[in-house]
Structure 1
Amino acid sequence: MPVDRLLPHNDAADLLQLAREIAAKELAPRAGQAEADHAFPRDIFRMLGASGLLGLPYPEKFGGGGLPYETYLQVLEEIAAAWMSVGVGMSVHVMSAYPLFAFGTDEQRERWLPGMLGGDTLGAFSLSESEAGSDIAAMTTRATRTADGWTLSGRKAWVTHGGRADYYTLMARTSDDGAQGISVFLVPADASGLTADAPERKMGLTGSVTAQVSLARVAVAHDRLIGDEGRGVPIALSALDSGRLGIAACATGLAQAALDTAVAYARERTQFGRRIIDHQGLSFLLADMEAAVVSARATYLDAARRRDRGMPFTQHAAVAKLVATDVAMRVTTDAVQVLGGAGYTRDFPVERFMREAKVTQIFEGTNQIQRLVIGRALATL
Structure 2
Amino acid sequence: MSHVFPAPGPVGHLLGTHLEGHVAAAHPLSPRAAMAGLPPITHQLLAYNPQSIWELETARLPRPLQALRRRARAFAQTQLQPQALAIDALPHLPAGEAHPQVQQLLALAGQEGWLYDMLPPPLGSGAWLQTPYPLAWRACLKVEEFSRACGGQMLLLCAHQLGMAPIMLSGDLPLIWRSFAPAARATRQGRPHLFAFAITEPGAGSDAEDGHGAAVCKPGVTARRERDGWVLNGDKVFISGGDLADQVTVFAALEGEGFESWTCFLVDKGTPGFRPVRTELKMGMRASGAAQLSFDQVWVSDRAVVGGLRQGWSLNRSTLNLSRLPVASMGVGLAQAAVDIATDYACQTHLGGKRLIDFQDVQLTLAQMIAETCAARALVWQGARTWSPRQGVASMAKFHCTDTAISVIHQAMDLMGERAILHGARLEKLYRDARLTQIFEGTNQINRLSVIEDLQEDLLARAAQPTSTSTRRPAP
TM-score tier (shorter): over 0.9
Distance change in 2, residues 1:80/1:116 (3 Å): farther
CA spacing shift, 1:116–1:92, aligned 2, 3 Å: farther
**Alignment CA distance shift 1:132-1:196 (3 Å):** same
Whole-angstrom CA distance in 2 between matches of 1:215 and 1:6: 49
Find out whether 1:48 has 2:109 as its counterpart.
yes
Deviation at 1:8, TM superposition (A): 4.5
- Which residue pairs with 1:234 in the alignment? 314
Q: Which residue of 1 aligns with 2:406?
A: 329
- Asked if 1 retains the 8 angstrom alpha-carbon contact of 2:170 and 2:306, the reply is yes
How far did 1:348 drift? 0.8
2:193 counterpart of 1:121: yes
Q: Which shifted more, 53-62 or 252-261?
A: 53-62
Quick check: 1:26 aligned with 2:79?
yes
Q: 1:205 aligns with which of 285, 293, 296?
A: 285
CA shift, 1:328, in A, is 1.0
Matched, 1:244 2:324: yes
Matched letter for residue 268 of structure 2:
P
Alignment deviations for residues 221-263 of structure 1 (CA, whole Å, 9 cap, x no partner): 2111001101111111110111111111111111111110010
Runs of at least 5 residues in structure 2 that lack an aligned partner in the other structure: 1-52, 92-98, 209-213, 459-476
SS at match of 1:24: helix
Matched, 1:63 2:135: no
* Structure 1 residue aligned with 2:20: none
8 Å CA contact 1:88, 1:247 repeated in 2: no
What is the CA-CA distance between 1:7 and the residue it aligns to? 5.5
CA contact (8 A) 1:76 1:90 kept: no
> 1:194-231: CA deviations, max 9, x gaps?
11122211111111111211111111121110011011
- Mapped pair 1:87 → 2:154: yes
Tell me the alpha carbon deviations over residues 55-108 of structure 1, each in whole angstroms, 9 at most, x when there is no partner.
333344522423533233112211111121122233321121111111052111
The aligned amino acid for 2:156 is G
Mapped to 2, the partners of 1:196 and 1:57 lie a distance apart of 27
Match of 1:135 in 2: 207
CA distance in 1, matches of 2:361, 2:61: 39
Letter in 2 for 1:125: F
Distance 1:64 1:380 in 2: 41
Match in the other structure for 2:62: 9
8 Å CA contact 1:101, 1:113 repeated in 2: no
Classify 1:52/1:30 alpha carbon distance in 2 versus 1 (closer, same or farther; 3 Å). same
Q: Bigger shift: 131-140 or 221-230?
A: 131-140
Question: Which piece of structure 1 moves more, 11-20 or 164-173?
Answer: 11-20
Separation in 2, partners of 1:201, 1:86: 16
SS at match of 2:455: helix
When the two chains are superposed, the root-mean-square deviation of aligned CA atoms in Å is 1.8
Give 5+ residue unaligned stretches, structure 1.
Answer: none
- Amino acid of the residue matched to residue 45 of structure 1? L
CA distances 1:7-56 after superposition (whole Å, capped 9, x unpaired): 65333222222212211111111111011115572332332232222333
Mapping 1:259-338, distance limit 5 Å: 259-306=339-386, 308=387, 310=388, 312-338=389-415
How far is the alpha carbon of 1:347 from its aligned partner?
A: 2.6
**Per the alignment, in what secondary structure is the counterpart of residue 208 of structure 1?**
coil
Once the two structures are overlaid, the 10-residue window that deviates more, 113-122 or 80-89, is 113-122
1:354 equivalent to 2:404? Answer no
Q: Secondary structure at the match of 1:168?
A: strand
- The one-letter code sitting in structure 1 at the alignment partner of 2:85 is G
Residue of 176, 182, 192 corresponding to 2:272: 192
Partner of 2:165: 98
Q: 1:32 is paired with a residue of what secondary structure?
A: helix
What amino acid is aligned across from residue 73 of structure 1 in structure 2? C
Structure 1 position 173 matched with structure 2 position 253:
yes
Say if 2:202 and 2:220, in contact at 8 Å, map to a contact too: no
Q: Whose Rg is larger?
A: 2
Aligned AA for 2:433?
E
TM alignment of 1:136-151, pairs within 5 A: 136=208, 137=214, 138-151=218-231
Closer/same/farther in 2, CA of residues 116 and 368 from structure 1, 3 Å limit: farther
Pick closer, same or farther for the CA change 1:303–1:115 going to 2, 3 Å: farther
Higher relative contact order (CA 8 A, sep 6+): 1
Moved more, 238-247 or 112-121: 112-121
- Which amino acid letter does the alignment assign opposite residue 126 of structure 1? A
Cα distance between partner residues in 2 of 1:380 and 1:292: 31
Contact 2:402 2:434 in 1 (8 A): yes
Bigger Cα displacement from structure 2, 17-26 vs 253-262: 17-26
Is the contact made by 1:7 and 1:71 (CA closer than 8 Å) also made in structure 2?
A: no
For residues 116 and 8 of structure 1, do their structure 2 counterparts lie closer, same or farther at Cα, with a shift above 3 Å needed?
farther
* Percent identical: 31
Query: Helix, strand or coil: the match of 2:314?
Result: helix
Partners in 2 of 1:380 and 1:58 — Cα distance? 36
The alpha carbon displacement at 1:117 in A equals 4.8
Moved more, 277-286 or 38-47: 38-47
Between 150-159 and 333-342, report the one with greater CA deviation: 333-342
Structure 2 counterpart of 1:74: 141
Shift of 1:317: 0.4
CA distance in 2, matches of 1:51, 1:7: 26
- Paired residue secondary structure (2:284): coil
Residues in 2 aligned to 1:104 and 1:172: alpha-carbon distance in whole angstroms: 20
Q: Residue type matched to 1:114 in 2?
A: A
| Stretch of structure 1 that moved more, 205-214 or 10-19 | 10-19
Aligned equivalents of 2:134, 2:182: Cα separation in 1: 21
State TM-score, norm by structure 1.
0.94
Q: Secondary structure, in 3 states, of the residue corresponding to 2:285?
A: coil
